[in-house]
Amino acid sequence: MNIGRMCSDSRHTQCRMQAEQFERPEIRNLVLSILNRSEIFIQTVQEWGTPLYIYEPGKFETKARTFVEAFTSHLNVFEAFFALKCNNHPEVAAAAVMAGLGLDVSSGIELELALKTGCKRILFSGPGKTKQELDLAAAHPERVTVLMDSFGELENLDLAASRTGSSVTAGVRLTTNEEGLWRKFGIPQSSLNCFLKAAAGKKGVDLKGLQFHTSWNMDPWSQVKFITQLGRTLASADPSLVRTLHFLDIGGGYWPGTGEWILDGDSGTGFPGDLLKTRRCIPAARIEDFAREISRALKEHIFTLAPLAVYAEPGRWIADETMHIAISVVDRKSSDIVITDAGTNIVGWEKYETDFVPVINLSRPSLTERPCLIAGSLCTPHDVWGWSYFGDGIEPGDILLLPNQGAYAWSLRQEFIKPIARVAQIRDNGSRIGSPDNGVLEIT
C-alpha cells in the first residue's frame, strides 16, 4: 500500500489537507514511511500476535556503517563500540559484532553477553564495578579493556589482575561535570596527572587511554568544549606519562538526526492540550556534523600532544530506528479513549507522558491525526502510549505501531503485571524471523 498516493487522490482531499497542517514534516514523513510498509508489519503481527517488538537488523547494519563512515572520513584511527545498555537484546549485540563494531558494556551481565557473541573488542565502563565483575574482565585481558572510574577502582583492578595472573588494558574516565549528579562518574581532570602516576606503579594495570562522556548531545559543542579543556589538561601533565596513552574514548550520547520530540502539556488532565501547539521538537545535528566538528577539535587540541586512536560509544543513534512496538486495541471505552493489550512495562517507564511518538493505526491507515487517549492495560493511570493516533478511526482489534523504539525500551522492560513481549525480526527482503517466549522469533 502506498499511502502517499492514496492521499493524493481527489477522493482523499481531506486527508491531504490535514497532513499539510503538521507543524513538523519529520512526523508526517515517519508516519508515511511506516504506512508504505504496513503490509509486512501486519503480516508479522497476524502470525505472532501482540504485544510485539519488531526488529529490523538491516537498518541496524546500515546505521552502524553510516556512523563509522562519518568519523573515519575525518580520523585515521577510529573504532566504534555499541553501547549495550541502549538495547541489550542478544540479536542486537550479535548484529553489532557482525557490523564490525566493538561492544561497550556497563555490568557483569552485559560483559557475559558480549563475551558470548565472540566480540574481540569490549570496553567495560561504569562506576562501582564489583570484585566478581573485575575478575571476569581480568580473566579475558585479550578482549576486554576496563575503563576505570576512580582511584579505588585502580586498586581493585590491580588486585583482580593479580588473582588471574594477567595484565589488564585499561583507561580512566574523566568527569565532564564536577557538580551535581554527574560527578558520580570518573575523576576530575585536575586529578589526571596523579592518576597516571599511580597507574604507572601497578603491575597488573596497563593504562592506555582516557574516556569522557556527555549525554543527550543534540549537537557536538559539549564534546568540543570538553576536548578543548582536555587539551589544556594534557599540556600541563607529565609528557612522559601522556606519551604512554594510546586512545581517547569520546563516549556516546549522539542524538538521532530527527531530534527529540517531547510534549509540553499537562498529561494529568487526560490530554496534553492542543496536540500541535504543545508538541515540541528539539533539533539535532547530523552525524556528519558531529564527526566534522569533533575531529576538528581533536586535531587542534589533542593530536598535537598525542596522536591517539579515537573510540566512540554510540547507542541510541544506531539502535533507535531499528525496533518498533506493535500493540492491539482490546477495548474502546469512548470516542476519545481506548485500551490496548500491552502495558508500558515493555518499555520500563512512563515514557509517553513526556515523549511524543506517533501511534500509527495500521488497520485503518491514514495521514490524519486524531485525538484519543491510547492507554495500556496495567493497573496504573500512568500506563499511557499516546494522546493521539494516525488513522481513519480506531476500533477493537486494530493493530497500532509505535515506530523507532529501539533505544532504551527493550533494555528497560520489566515484568510488571503483564508479561514481557516477544521480539520478531524483519529482513530487508521481507522475510520474517521468529521464535517463542522472549527470544527472537525466527521466520525465514
Say yes or no to pLDDT of 276 above 70: no
* pLDDT at position 439: 46
Minimal CA–CA distance to 110: which of 120, 92, 124, 96?
124
Q: How far apart are CA 360 and CA 6, in angstroms?
A: 16
Q: Contact 136/111 with Cβ under 8 angstroms? A: yes
Q: How much is the average pLDDT of 72-83?
A: 98
Per-residue pLDDT tens for 302-329?
A: 999 999 999 999 999 999 999 999 999 9
Q: How much is the average pLDDT of 204-226?
A: 97
CB atoms within 10 A of CB 286: 11
Say yes or no to pLDDT of 147 above 80: yes
Look-up of cell digits 527472537: 440
* pLDDT at position 275: 60
* pLDDT at position 437: 44
Please state, for a pLDDT cut of 90, what percent of the chain lies above it. 83
* pLDDT at position 16: 30
Stronger pLDDT, 427 or 129, i.e. the higher one: 129
Whether CATH 3.20.20.10 fits 58-258+285-319: yes
What is the chain's length? 444
The angle subtended at Cα 311 by Cα 154 and Cα 67, nearest 5°, is 150
Give residue 49's region: left, alpha or beta (phi > 0; psi -120 to 50): left
Provide φ and ψ at 146, rounded to 5°: -95, 125
Mean pLDDT of the chain: 90
Say yes or no to pLDDT of 278 above 80: no
Q: Contact 129/153 with Cβ under 8 angstroms? A: yes
Say yes or no to pLDDT of 24 above 80: no
Say yes or no to pLDDT of 210 above 80: yes
Q: How far apart are CA 210 and CA 188, in angstroms?
A: 12
Q: How far apart are CA 361 and CA 11, in angstroms?
A: 20
* pLDDT at position 266: 58
C-alpha cell at 176: 565532564
Q: How far apart are CA 323 and CA 53, in angstroms?
A: 7
* pLDDT at position 264: 75
Provide φ and ψ at 43, rounded to 5°: -60, -40
* pLDDT at position 379: 95
Per-residue pLDDT tens for 102-116?
A: 999 999 999 999 999
* pLDDT at position 6: 35
Q: How far apart are CA 383 and CA 273, in angstroms?
A: 18
Q: How far apart are CA 131 and CA 158, in angstroms?
A: 11
CATH number of 3-56+321-441: 2.40.37.10
Stronger pLDDT, 429 or 32, i.e. the higher one: 32
Measured between alpha carbons, how far is residue 240 from residues 3, 305, 352 in Å?
64, 11, 52
Q: How far apart are CA 301 and CA 111, in angstroms?
A: 33
Q: How far apart are CA 425 and CA 290, in angstroms?
A: 30
Q: How much is the average pLDDT of 225-250?
A: 97
* Residue ranges per structural domain of the chain: 3-56+321-441, 58-258+285-319
* pLDDT at position 351: 94
Q: Contact 3/367 with Cβ under 8 angstroms? A: yes
User: Which range, of 21-35, 263-277, 368-382, averages the lowest pLDDT?
Assistant: 263-277
Query: In this structure, are strands 52-55 and 440-441 parallel, antiparallel, or unpaired?
Result: unpaired
* pLDDT at position 115: 98
C-alpha cell at 54: 519488531
**431 exposed, middle or buried (CB, 10 Å; 0-12, 13-18, 19+)?**
exposed
Cβ neighbours for 424, distance < 8 A, ≥ 6 positions apart: 44, 48, 52, 53, 54, 55, 432, 433, 434, 440, 441, 443
pTM of the model: 0.91
* pLDDT at position 1: 44
Measured between alpha carbons, how far is residue 351 from residues 215, 254, 279, 385 in Å?
18, 19, 15, 8
* pLDDT at position 216: 94
* pLDDT at position 81: 98
* pLDDT at position 9: 33
* pLDDT at position 433: 52
Say yes or no to pLDDT of 129 above 90: yes
Q: How much is the average pLDDT of 348-373?
A: 95
Per-residue pLDDT tens for 279-305?
A: 788 899 999 999 999 999 999 999 999
Stronger pLDDT, 354 or 96, i.e. the higher one: 96
Q: How much is the average pLDDT of 247-274?
A: 80
The angle subtended at Cα 28 by Cα 67 and Cα 31, nearest 5°, is 75
Cβ neighbours for 207, distance < 8 A, ≥ 6 positions apart: 170, 171, 172, 196, 199, 200, 244, 245
Strand partners for 54? 324, 424
Say yes or no to pLDDT of 57 above 80: yes
The DSSP-derived string for 290-341 is HHHHHHHHHHHHTTTT---EEEE---HHHHGGGEEEEEEEEEEEETTEEEES
